[in-house]
Amino acid sequence: MIKVGVFGASGRVGKLLIEDLKATEGMSLSSVFVRNELDFAIDPSVLVTSDMRSFLLGCDLVIDFSLPEACEALLEEAIKHPKPLVVGTTGLSAHQLNLLKQASDNMPVLYATNMSLGVALLSKLVHMASARLEGFDIEIVEMHHRHKKDAPSGTALTLAQSAAAGRGLDLDSVRVSGRDGNIGARTKEEISVMALRGGDIVGRHTVGFYNDGEFIELNHTATSRNTFSKGALRAGSWLVKQPSGLYSIADCLEL
Ligand code: NAD
């Protein structure tokens, strides 16, 4: 039985993780990290703590869906008390991504800005299309619920990275994330990533390849957040069997 620690337990995805764990064979919830009191009932056998060290020692696997600053604090502590770690938090800074890399020297770490099978496959398709559709303009649009804090979404940036890699481009040099005013015509190489926010949209990503006379749009829509919680649990059960290193969702799904 894999003992799972949930970091970000009171969040939208964290709560689903706790629910999904009840029906997951071979895994059980053993610890949750909280800053304040939990606002929902939890089995009394579960360790509920605001002490990061006790939280880490109380589980075999950590699943994190929190915020970048919180994830940073978790990584700093996990470096001292290594545990297999699935990180789903998006919007990580360069420093936080470096910490993730550093942590993976001593434990298996899987980082995925999107835990769904569909997006993992979409990312592959985008790479393929980008490489083959020479001269097509690439535009990415993402839509999320009104509460989402980071923009553009981590998933959109991952898809943009796949598109840039397909063309051998450095994303930071070609990414455009907004257009306003008399900015001139679109350049050939730019890859735009636009963010829309509203309502309760779980997550919608469209990667368009536009040319004169034709265009292709690849779209993924998440209709339930359980796609992410279930995906993270699947990733966790795979990760505990891996040696130290930094893994992607594509590694876990063998795509
Ligand atoms: P949320 O705002 O509902 O939950 C955030 C959680 O983090 C809460 O439990 C909160 O208490 C906790 N938290 C905040 N600050 C903290 C701190 N300093 N220390 C400890 N805990 C802290 O957010 P959400 O919708 O559940 O999403 C969480 C993260 O996961 C976001 O970054 C989101 O973009 C990302 N996300 C990733 C995927 C994926 O598949 N990888 C899918 C959906 C969401």
Going residue by residue through the chain, which has 255 residues, state the pLDDT in tens, using 9 for 90 and above. Answer: 999 999 999 999 999 999 999 999 999 999 999 998 888 999 999 999 999 999 999 999 999 999 999 999 999 999 999 999 999 999 999 999 999 999 999 999 999 999 999 999 999 999 999 999 999 999 999 999 999 999 999 999 999 999 999 999 999 999 999 999 999 999 999 999 999 999 999 999 999 999 999 999 999 999 999 999 999 999 999 999 999 999 999 999 988
149 is catalytic: no
- Of 97, 130, 132, give the one whose Cα is nearest residue 111: 97
Q: 31 with 99, same domain?
A: yes
CATH number at residue 30: 3.40.50.720
* 185 Cα–ligand 1 center, Å: 38
DSSP state of 221: E
The amino acid sitting at 12 is: R
Q: Contact 63/232 with Cβ under 8 angstroms?
A: yes
User: Which residue in 3, 81, 145, 148 is the catalytic one?
Assistant: 148
pLDDT at 255: 87
* 15 Cα–ligand 1 center, Å: 10
Give the residues surrounding ligand 1 with Cβ less than 6 Å away.
8-14, 35, 65-67, 69-70, 88-91, 112-115, 150, 228
Q: 177 with 232, same domain?
A: no
Q: Cα separation of 117 and 56, whole Å? A: 28
Look at the block and give the residue holding tokens 């009932």: 41
Q: 54 with 28, same domain?
A: yes
Nearest CA to ligand 1 atom 1: 11
220 is catalytic: no
Q: 18 with 103, same domain?
A: yes
pLDDT at 39: 86
Phi, psi of 135 (to 5 degrees): 85, -10
Please give the structure tokens belonging to residue 212: 């004169």
Per-residue b or e along 50-73, where b marks 16 or more CB atoms closer than 10 Å to that residue's CB = eebeebbebbbbbbbbbbbebbbe
Domains in the chain: how many in total?
A: 2
Q: 217 with 236, same domain?
A: no
Q: 98 with 125, same domain?
A: no
**CB count in 10 Å sphere of residue 161:** 19
pLDDT at 139: 98
Q: Which is the closest atom of ligand 1 to the Cα of 91?
A: 32
Q: 17 with 99, same domain?
A: yes
pLDDT at 38: 86
Q: Cα separation of 254 and 74, whole Å? A: 28
CATH number at residue 163: 3.30.360.10
Q: How many CA atoms lie within 13 A of 230 on its CB side?
A: 10
Q: 155 with 234, same domain?
A: no
Q: 215 with 125, same domain?
A: yes
Please give the structure tokens belonging to residue 205: 């990503």
- Which helix (H) or strand (E) covers residue 252, if one does? helix 249-253
Q: 102 with 44, same domain?
A: yes
Report the relative pairing of strands 85-87 and 137-144 from DSSP bridges: unpaired
User: Which residue in 15, 83, 144, 205 is the catalytic one?
Assistant: 144
Which residues is 5 bridged to in the sheet? 31, 62
Nearest CA to ligand 1 atom 40: 114
Report the relative pairing of strands 203-211 and 175-176 from DSSP bridges: unpaired
Q: 107 with 9, same domain?
A: yes
Print the domain residue range for 73.
2-111+225-253
Q: 77 with 90, same domain?
A: yes
